[in-house]
Structure 1
């Protein structure tokens, strides 16, 4: 069977780059990848990682999700403007006290993270409907389910993504089109590096001194500790157990969380529709039990370090669960009914 065409946005680094390489180098040759990015001068890392797949199972094209003309030019290169799988991954972050953020920066986040997805889906849906098949995979965030202090605008953009996809799902199913939200927690990547580099330059202008102190003295250290303890690599999010898994599923799930560490947080929110329980728990963790939070994160980091060492030892002994015997089998034909 012919390989399935996959269009991925935001492939200059992070999850997009890792997923593009993973699919293009698939040992079974199941995918033909169109890896896109806003600025083609940033293509070097992707070309290097793709190796011999470049020009064979992976092509690189320019696509700016905020530019409708750029989207059209890219899709015009596809037969009938059709792809089997869209992976909407392009996104930007924004953190800091609300009063210190500019409206222009806020609009840029919404334009990229939300309206960029809307423009892509609007452009690709007609061909998917005609073919009565397709899969829209959206790299969302755990912050599309639970807001986090000082991530107000980023969380809002991801909540918008989640609502859009929920609304789209039922119509999509009528045309045998699957929709999947992949919801990572913190991911260690260039995205995070740029975000924190920008934060270090924030001077909290327009913010009262108490809020500025909470941001710099409490939020930033806790956030860095959380990344150090609970973050995943882009390769992990792209790999067999997560994004590749939902792409290959016969009946793709609507939601897939990549980090089980966040399951209790989400369960807490669902257990109390009023929201008071989750709000009180977060408040206590941040303002009353900060040392306990940091000690717990340090313990988690130590356990994960030991687990990584064990996996490395298993790989050296040839006992790791990697390679084709453990790769998920993609369906030989498009799924007949999408999500259950």
Structure 2
């Protein structure tokens, strides 16, 4: 096997397999479950062995599912590291632990959800969502982007959301955090081109993961006493009632999204779910913004039976192709 000499951080010389040298270092955040876990495993098990994956998570006590999914690739093409996107020192320590601090691909995936009437959410809860979903990305890039710019090489992949394009009922703060991500990346993309860097926004619709299940469960337990009766009933009897049905009809698996991220020459924006695309297209169809709001209003409050029937029809079609999902597992 051909060998090459490389300088280690300590200053001495050591031999590395040339195959290892050719691998791209990939840092992924939020790998304890969902899209992060699926992507980390998929890249680590790449048949061509193109990647060395550094799968990170805030709490290493939750690493067991990833370890099981990685199997024999653990310790070879996949390493698990601690990283909290809300802690600059945690990010720096993780990046410093990677040989030569070289990160060829950064996948910013760690995120936090929040649903419900804003009257029932504290400002601290809202700040935590913004701190994780938006400032978490900013902290990562402040640490990693300068190295990429110096090398004039690198790919930054951001897991955004269709709610970074189109706001949805009772997702006010979460949508705000994703709108912030989208605007930030649109601005940064222009600079990235100058340094020959790739920047990709991945915009999933509903994805059936532990993340979504937790958001739903938190919504079910929410104290609605601060909201007026009409708003509380709207959240409970319209939003939460349709939540599961939407995921069963339109939901993707984390593995589906991971597959798309690995595509060659990804565009700047990529919506992963073609079933959801007509809803986001409304945003571009009317520059005034009235069309999507009017349609969503009528769909929710005036034509709810038609909306429900449409979801059931889509669910039936997907069931026949074995792609209908519940919150947690594919339907049998």
TM-score (norm 2): 0.90
Distance 2:40 2:281 in 1: 32
Is residue 32 of structure 2 the alignment partner of residue 18 of structure 1?
A: no
CA RMSD of aligned residues (A): 1.2
**Counterpart position of 2:292:** 278
Tell whether 2:315 aligns with 1:297. no
Alignment TM-score, normalising by the size of structure 1: 0.88
Match of 2:25 in 1: 5
1:161 aligns with 2:181: yes
> Do structure 1's residue 306 and structure 2's residue 306 form an aligned pair?
no
Shift of 1:300: 0.4
Superposition map of 1:84-103 within 5 A: 84-103=104-123
Structure with bigger RCO (C-alpha 8 Å, 6+ apart)? 1
The yes-or-no answer on 1:244 pairing with 2:262 is: yes
For 1:81 and 1:167, locate their aligned partners in 2 and report how far apart those are by CA, in whole Å: 25
- Kept in 2, the 8 Å contact 1:80–1:127? The answer is no
The number of residues matched between the two structures is 304
Deviations 1:241-280 (A, max 9, x none): x1111xxx2x331011100112211221111111111111
1:81 deviates by 2.1
For structure 2, the 5+ residue unaligned runs are: 1-18, 324-332
Partner of 2:215, secondary structure, is: helix
Aligned-pair distance for 1:206? 1.4
How far has the Cα of 1:199 moved from its partner? 1.0
Structure 2 matches for 1:1-340, cutoff 5 A?
A: 2-239=22-259, 242-245=260-263, 249=264, 251-308=265-322
Q: Distance in 1 between matches of 2:102 and 2:76?
A: 19
Secondary structure in 2 aligned to 1:155?
helix
Q: Equivalents in 1 of 2:150, 2:292: separation in Å? A: 44
Deviations 1:42-65 (A, max 9, x none): 000000000000000000000000
Structure 1 unaligned spans of 5+: 310-340
CA distance in 2, matches of 1:256, 1:125: 22
